[in-house]
Structure 1
Amino acid sequence: MVYSMDQKNKVTEKLKEGGYSFVLYKDGEWSTSEKRGIAPIMELLKENKELLRGAYVADKVIGKAAALLLIEGGISYLHAEIISEHAIEVLQNSNIEYEYQELVPYIVNRSGDGMCPMEETVLDVTDTKIAFELLQEKIKKMQAAMQAQNMK
């Protein structure tokens, strides 16, 4: 599948103009999300993995977790506004063409005091299927902890 520069620009523009966190384009079909983190990618991998194959993606923040998930999905092109050095390492060994605006050592967690728990979960992982499983488990644990916190 060959995409034109125009399609690369389209996903990047839609990300910036639409206020989205994630934009995907494939064969005239758009998928957008305002959800944070790896949620939009996890949902696509679970519900519509075929849409990822060969797609063009633009995302606000790409850490190693998101990069591994996008490799698992088989996308063709990635534009990231912010990308971590850990994500670059795995993308360099993939067939994904990528561009980014800002390179950071690692993705910072939401409280701003450490590494993103998703990136931390897969720091030593290179297998995309293992990464997907580990990230699903991490999300379940974090949701359970949040529910327990809310019940206090």
Structure 2
Amino acid sequence: MSSDLRRAVEILDKSRYTCVLCRGEQILTTEKRGVLPLVEWLEAGEDLKGFSAADKVVGKGAAFLYVMAGVKEVYASVMSEKAAALLSDYGIDGFCGQKVDRIRNRQGTGNCPMEEATKDIESPEKAWEVIRQTLKRLAAGK
């Protein structure tokens, strides 16, 4: 675990942030939940290559976004087994406080919508498309 990742984890643990990215002196933070901040950063063209990320929850959908972003390592308080495997497949070091078989939705009644949407997807490009479609559908209340 690099010093950037240790700093990101420390900030995450001592704040209300849901996601913290560090690269040298650069620090990005958000209190937004789910994959939304990653999608927003990527859509805005934010250069996330080489950052270390600390996140509250990382499922397969978020893992795909971290792959697309080019981060070098990810810590999650809770990480799904599929997310850990995906990060490893792409050479990204993954660390977690707790590894789970799947990420549950916020109501605890089923799988996280992003985990469900990406369960059979194998490429980051396809995942990007599906994640954006799922976010639009959820925003529309469908």
**Conserved? CA contact 1:68–1:126, under 8 Å:** no
**Conserved? CA contact 1:12–1:58, under 8 Å:** yes
Q: Which residue in 2 is equivalent to 1:19?
A: 16
Cα deviation 1:42-94 (Å, max 9, x = unaligned): 111111341x1110100000000000110011100111110001111211201
Q: Which residue in 2 is equivalent to 1:69?
A: 65
Specify the code of the residue in structure 2 equivalent to 1:58.
A
Q: Which residue in 1 is equivalent to 2:85?
A: 89
Q: Which residue in 2 is equivalent to 1:136?
A: 132
Asked which structure has the greater CA Rg, the reply is 1
**Conserved? CA contact 1:71–1:94, under 8 Å:** yes
Cα deviation 1:79-125 (Å, max 9, x = unaligned): 11100011112112012112111011100001111000111000011
Runs of 4+ in 1 over 6 A off after TM superposition: none
**Conserved? CA contact 1:61–1:82, under 8 Å:** yes
**Conserved? CA contact 1:90–1:126, under 8 Å:** no
State the secondary structure of the residue aligned to 1:18. coil
1:7 and 1:143 map into 2 onto residues whose CA distance is 34
Q: Which runs of 5+ in 2 are unaligned?
A: none
Deviation at 1:7, TM superposition (A): 2.1
Q: 2:39 aligned with 1:39, yes or no?
A: no
Specify the code of the residue in structure 1 equivalent to 2:84.
I
Q: Aligned in 2, Cα 1:145/1:77: closer, same or farther, shift over 3 Å?
A: same
Q: Aligned in 2, Cα 1:74/1:5: closer, same or farther, shift over 3 Å?
A: closer
Q: 2:97 aligned with 1:116, yes or no?
A: no
Q: Which residue in 1 is equivalent to 2:4?
A: 7
Between structures 1 and 2, the one with greater helix share? 1
Deviation at 1:143, TM superposition (A): 1.0
Q: 2:25 aligned with 1:28, yes or no?
A: yes
Relative to structure 2, which stretch is displaced further, 66-75 or 87-96?
87-96
Q: Which residue in 2 is equivalent to 1:57?
A: 53
TM-score using structure 1 length? 0.89
TM-score using structure 2 length? 0.95
Specify the code of the residue in structure 1 equivalent to 2:15.
G
2:39 and 2:117 map into 1 onto residues whose CA distance is 15
Sequence identity percentage: 33
Cα deviation 1:13-68 (Å, max 9, x = unaligned): 00001221000112311110011100111111111341x11101000000000001
